[in-house]
Every structure is written in structure tokens, then in C-alpha cells.
Amino acid sequence: MREIDGASDGSRPPVAERVVDLRLATAYGDFLAVGYRDGNGTDEQMALVYGDVTGEGALVRLHSECLTGDSFGSRHCDCGGQLSAGLSAIVREGRGVLVYLRGHEGRGIGLLAKLQAMKLQAEGLDTVEANLALGLPADARDYQVAAEILHDLGVRSVRLMSNNPLKREALQRHGVKVTEEVPLLITPQEENIFYLRTKRERLGHHLPHLEDAESGAETGAETGGGTGSADGTEPPR
Ligand SMILES: Nc1nc2c(ncn2[C@@H]2O[C@H](COP(=O)(O)OP(=O)(O)OP(=O)(O)O)[C@@H](O)[C@H]2O)c(=O)[nH]1
Ligand SMILES: [Zn+2]
């Protein structure tokens, strides 16, 4: 496993090498897909760019890979809803970037370990306890390659779609200014409410909509406010 999110001190060689870009029509809209070789590990990375993102204030989602949630619509977590809501928000905004971070599967522990951790959760552990029970860190993600991809794309500062304060800190450590955190709140499901509560209580994620769900109030939408907020129920175009 790679080094955990070390700060960029200029002494390391760049880890993101642009290899290819092409137009990619999706159900959400037409993006420029940009492929990178991640020289820091073994991963190949991809960013989806919409509109002109150079300069200040692009709406950005750093999406950690989640095969089960993103591809199969698993209700164990909120990843699939966030991916869809993030892409929809970028298209609505007219410009933005989604960096799909491979190597982040299971918060950096890998797919098989994540599946083992999910099995332990079915037996009663929470998502943090499960990682630790496997002898693995609660979060092993590194954001250096994400920062380098944003630099390569000419992004100077970002409005970051995330509920995780550590992502903002990591990006700033790697020299990307974050001017705003845009909530990306997905309506909790029976199957993931415990997982989401654990993220709020043990990992410090900003998930204020859970309070509404707990009090039985109508949560309204899938999102927080701000121009970049996203609606996870919105079907792709
Ligand atoms: N270890 C572990 N990882 C999980 C589990 N469920 C989902 N994941 C992974 O968690 C990652 C997403 O992290 P989250 O904590 O859900 O959210 P985040 O990316 O930190 O924060 P946001 O930007 O707000 O989405 C993805 O890489 C998933 O593969 C689980 O039960 N255990
Ligand atoms: Zn997930």
C-alpha cells in the first residue's frame, strides 16, 4: 500500500502523467475524459471534465472508487448516489471536474478487504471497527494524484463537493485552494443509516440531514445548499 497522504514538499517526482484525452458522451452530458498514469502506484486514473475549468472556483468532486456502490448500486453506502449527484451537479453548473480515484477502494484498503469489512459489519461491527479488526487503517487514502490532476487541468481553486473535512485538508496540503465545501447529501436508506451515522460520529463527516431523518422530518432533497449542491434522485439525462 502506498504512503498515506504525505504532504507535497517538491522533492518527489510528479505522480500524474497525462496519457490520453477524448470526448466522452454520458447519460449526464458530454465530458472530456482525461486518462492519467499514476506513477506513485499501479493505478490508472481518470478525470471527467465539463466545460472550462481553468482558473478559480471550479466545482470539483474527488470520488473514491467503490465498485459495489458505483457499479452495482449497493445500498450499503452512499457512493453510487454521490457519484450520480456529483456528475449531475457539474453539468447543471456548466463546468466542473470529477476525479475518479482508483486505488481508493474501501478507503484505500482494497476491494477484497472492503468486502471482508462489510461482512464484519453485517456481524455487528461498525465501518471503522471492521477495518481495525482486519489490522488495517480506518482510512488509507492519498490525495496527491488528485491534486496533480487538478493542477494539470489548470484548476487553481475549487468548490469541493464532499462531506469529509479530511479531503479539503488533504487537497490544501497538496497546494489546491478550497474556497467552499459543497455538501453532497444522499437521502439515507434503511440499509445505510448506521453506516452514515458512523461516518458522522467517528469520521467527522458533515451529515446534518441525518438529524432530520432521525427526528422523522422530511429531509427534502438529497443535498445541502449552494449552487453546486446536487440532487441524487435526479435521473441522468
Ligand atoms: N473500508 C470500508 N470502505 C467502505 C465501506 N463502504 C464504502 N467504502 C469505501 O468508502 C469510500 C468512500 O468513503 P466515504 O467515507 O463513504 O466517503 P468520503 O469519500 O470520505 O466522503 P465524501 O466526499 O463525502 O463522499 C469508497 O472508496 C468506498 O469503497 C466499508 O464498509 N468499509
Ligand atoms: Zn461505497
**Is the pLDDT confidence value at 10 over 90?**
no
Q: Is 141 considered catalytic here?
A: yes
CA atoms within 13 A on the CB side of 75: 8
Looking at residue 5, what is its pLDDT? Answer: 53
Q: How far is the CA of 123 from the centre of ligand 1 (A)?
A: 19
Looking at residue 229, what is its pLDDT? Answer: 43
How far apart CA 25 and CA 224 sit, in angstroms, is: 28
Q: How far is the CA of 137 from the centre of ligand 1 (A)?
A: 13
What is the widest separation between alpha-carbon atoms in the chain? 52
> Quick one: average pLDDT of 143-151?
96
Looking at residue 11, what is its pLDDT? Answer: 52
Predicted model pTM: 0.88
pLDDT tens digits for range 37-90? 998 667 899 999 999 999 999 999 999 999 999 999 999 999 999 999 999 999
ipTM of the complex model: 0.98
Long-range contacts of 71-75 (CB under 8 A, 24+ apart): 75/189, 75/191, 75/192
Per-residue confidence band for 15, with pLDDT thresholds at 50, 70 and 90: confident
Nearest CA to ligand 1 atom 3: 106
Q: For a pocket test of ligand 1, which of 59, 60, 66 has the largest count of ligand atoms closer than 8 A to its C-beta?
A: 66
Q: Catalytic: which of 38, 70, 139, 142? A: 139
Q: Is 108 left (phi over 0), alpha (psi -120 to 50) or beta?
A: left
Q: Whats the size of the chain, residue-wise?
A: 237
Q: Is 139 considered catalytic here?
A: yes
Cβ count near 28 (within 10 Å): 21
Name which residue leads in pLDDT, 22 or 5: 22
CA atoms within 13 A on the CB side of 201: 12
How far apart CA 221 and CA 198 sit, in angstroms, is: 21
CATH class of 16-215: alpha beta
Per-residue confidence band for 215, with pLDDT thresholds at 50, 70 and 90: low
Looking at residue 214, what is its pLDDT? Answer: 65
Looking at residue 234, what is its pLDDT? Answer: 42
Q: What is the DSSP letter of 209?
A: H
Residue-wise DSSP of 138-179: S-----HHHHHHHHHTTB-EEEEE-S-HHHHHHHHHTT-EEE
